[in-house]
Amino acid sequence: MADGPAPKSKKKTAKKPAAKTAKPAAAAPKPEAPPSIDASTLSYAEAVSMLPPEQREMIEKLSSNLARAAVTAQGAIAEAALRQAERPPALNPDPFHVTPALTEVMGKLAAQPDKLLRAQANLFSGYLDLWQAATERLAGAEPRAVVEPPRGDKRFNDPEWTSEPVFDVMKQSYLLTSNWLTTLVSDVENVEPMTKRRVEFVTKMLTDAFSPSNFLLSNPAALREVIATKGESLVRGMEHFAADLEKGGGQLSISQTDSTPFKVGENIATAPGKVIFQNDILQLLQFDPATEQVHEIPLLIFPPWINKWYILDLRVENSMIRWLTAQGYSVFVASWVNPDEHQAAKTFEDYMFEGVYEATAKVMEQAGTDKVNTVGYCIGGTLLSVSLAHMAAKGDKRINSATFFAAQQDFTEAGDLLLFTNDDWVDDVERRMDAEGGFLPSQNMADTFNSLRANDLIWSFFVNNYLLGKEPKPFDLLFWNSDQTRMPKTLHLTYLREFYGRNRLARGDLEMGGVKLDMSKIKAPVMIQSSKDDHISPYRSVYRGAKLFGGPTTFLMAGSGHIAGVINHPDAKKYQHWTNEALPDTVEEWIEGAVEHPGSWWNYWDKWLSAKSGGKVPARDPAKGKLKPLEDAPGSFVKVKS
């Protein structure tokens, strides 16, 4: 075998010596890196200790105050629970008796699946629109409102409800859902109207309660206040909460105003006068004249006994009493007793005979006349109407004219108070009054009226007092509103059952004092005042009553509501009023033909009343009349607290 080619030999190369380089300078030692910190292993105290002093102080103060607030709230709730445990169980787990109505409405909804599906589709569409608007805003577009709060809704007035995207979405989500629920109920068909109204009312109560404005973590103003005060606002709020629970005897009684600046007879109800007569149910006040001569026929006012009469004399600048005396009227007012168990058996007839009959007799005796002009406000007007019908049946013509402020005779359209007058609810009221000894506590009446305007009269104060920790402001009107009276059992049940429940006065089958009452037999001239935004005596209801009288009837409508529509001094130059000399079949026709006038309606009334008040006579000094004065106005009855 032949050998292969020989391998080539490798050529060796000489190595060159390495070039000499300068020795590098010694590097500066590197600082040691701080040891890494695992935040998950830090205690709260260690984490706070690492903060700058200012932040550390703020956090510590905030934490301390949050703990104080929690302890205060827990203590108040525990005390309230102990008090409630000592009481008998609730009379009814469903105080609004809404369960049957809710069952019926839900059943009708279930039977209309197409309507329910459309409603759900509308809600889903609204949310898609909202999220699209929110996405566009995050991308730099101008804010766009998918839904707005209703006019007059003050819950979302804080600018951050709109300026901050999170709060804006929260607000609009709530409005979409609450509007959807309300519309869902109101659109149900084939349901008795009162049944639907009851469910609508309770639905609104629930949606109002769950508004994001009512919760600390979703209310921007409350959160700002907590941070700004380092939690002190929440401590104050819980102290207010505890005080209101204490005031309500274990039930929350939210303070609406600071009552300490107001003293009845000192800076409230200060019109000078005398108490000239008193019986079991009223004191009769006569006020000092403000002119040298007065109209011959005196004026006697019957206010509601659900509240105290001094709404007519809150301050010098808005006092109706002082304004009337300045126009030359001899003014008398019935100051009703704040009843307790001693008046439990007093009837509507007693209030007619001991109230209207006795008071008019004493006024005529004091003034030396055989006639008297009268005013009835709210339920006082209902009593006056009954008395006029009774007098008409008896041929008694002592009442020369009658003016009615926000008073009802026909209760067909009597507003949301009708929801509280079905038989089951009234039976509960009766049991509650029996448990109290024959009267309804004033707080029950206050709660009923407040619930009709929950956002204004409950939740606004809940937020102000508890979440913001602010003191309620002094306000004379709210002081009067909180100065409620009790209701005697027999009288109140008659009012609820016979007037609200069965509407017997308007139907013509109500019997009082042995005679059947017929409103058409009342021939004395009457003026009927209503208010456009009155939720206690709606103008539609008041107009129906105006159609029942058999004599000359003048109807007018004022701006605003049940109180501000009535108590509107001309000098205030507020609101407006509408007049129409005709009295057509419907209030819609009346409105169509009415003329609007700026300001108060009092001057219009004065022109009407003065023409029915006779000539002028020397002013009547209550201290020098036939009836001996018993005490100075405002009297002692009005000062009795519930």
**Catalytically annotated residues:** 378
For residues 276-294, one letter each, b for 16 or more C-beta atoms within 10 angstroms of the residue's C-beta and e for the rest, the string is bbbeebbbbbbbbbbeeeb
Give 175-186 as a DSSP string.
Answer: HHHHHHHHHHHH
**CA 143/CA 139 separation, integer angstroms:** 11
Task: Work out the number of other CB atoms within 10 angstroms of the CB of residue 268.
Answer: 20
**CA 551/CA 525 separation, integer angstroms:** 6
User: What are the tokens at 30?
Assistant: 């590197």
3-class SS letters over 33-67? CCCCCCHHHCCHHHHHHCCCHHHHHHHHHHHHHHH
Instruction: Using alpha carbons, select from 481, 478, 483, 484 the residue that is nearest to residue 258.
Output: 478
User: What are the tokens at 226?
Assistant: 């907590």
C-alpha distances (whole Å) from 348 to each of 281, 353, 471, 508, 511 are 12, 9, 41, 17, 11
For residues 190-210, one letter each, b for 16 or more C-beta atoms within 10 angstroms of the residue's C-beta and e for the rest, the string is ebeeebbbbbbbbbbbebbee
According to DSSP, the residues that pair with 301 across neighbouring strands are 333, 375
